[in-house]
Amino acid sequence: MTLKIFFYMLFMSLSGNSQADTLPKKLLPPCQKIPNCLSSETLEGKQFIQPFKIKGESNKAWSSLKAALNQQNRVVITHESADNIHAEVTSMIFKFVDDVDFCLDKENNAIHIRSASRTDHLDFGINHKRIEALRAQLQKANLIS
């Protein structure tokens, strides 16, 4: 009887994935339930934005993203590591600050994105336009699809 229980427990432990294995790994801070935040890691419809899908070498796409951020007006990279970038974007007139985060996911050949206004509830689509402009710039360079 104990041999059957042993083999049953062994079989069950080897047979399947736990729920934790099937959930996506969260790399960025979550979006709050407000309309001024976008993330490639959220399940919320209007807050979801597609990650940048890398073509070819991920390090080249990552360094090009950093260069594109550095070329933009009113953008300051405040934190940078091998696979994370945090930048602050200040609006021209009212000096509102938006937080933009990127995370290099080499395992899935993608760059995950989060962009959110710090203070204003509505951003009039600015965060979305900013991310899509970066996407277009990297697509033009044939670094992402």
Average pLDDT for 87-98:
92
- Lowest mean per-residue pLDDT among 2-6, 69-73, 110-114: 2-6
Counted residue by residue, the chain has a size of 145
Q: What does the mean pLDDT of the chain come to? A: 83
Tokens for 65, please give them. 């993203």
Q: Model pTM?
A: 0.79
Q: What is the DSSP annotation of 57-126?
A: -HHHHHHHHHHHHHHSTTEEEEEE-SSEEEEEEE-TTT--EEEEEEEEEGGGTEEEEEEEESS-S--TTH
Q: What is the pLDDT of residue 67?
A: 97
Q: Which fold has domain 50-145?
A: TATA-Binding Protein (3.30.310)
Paired residues of 79 in beta bridges: 86
The 10s digit of each residue's pLDDT in 12-59 is 444 443 333 333 456 798 888 778 899 999 887 889 999 999 999 999
Q: What is the pLDDT of residue 2?
A: 57
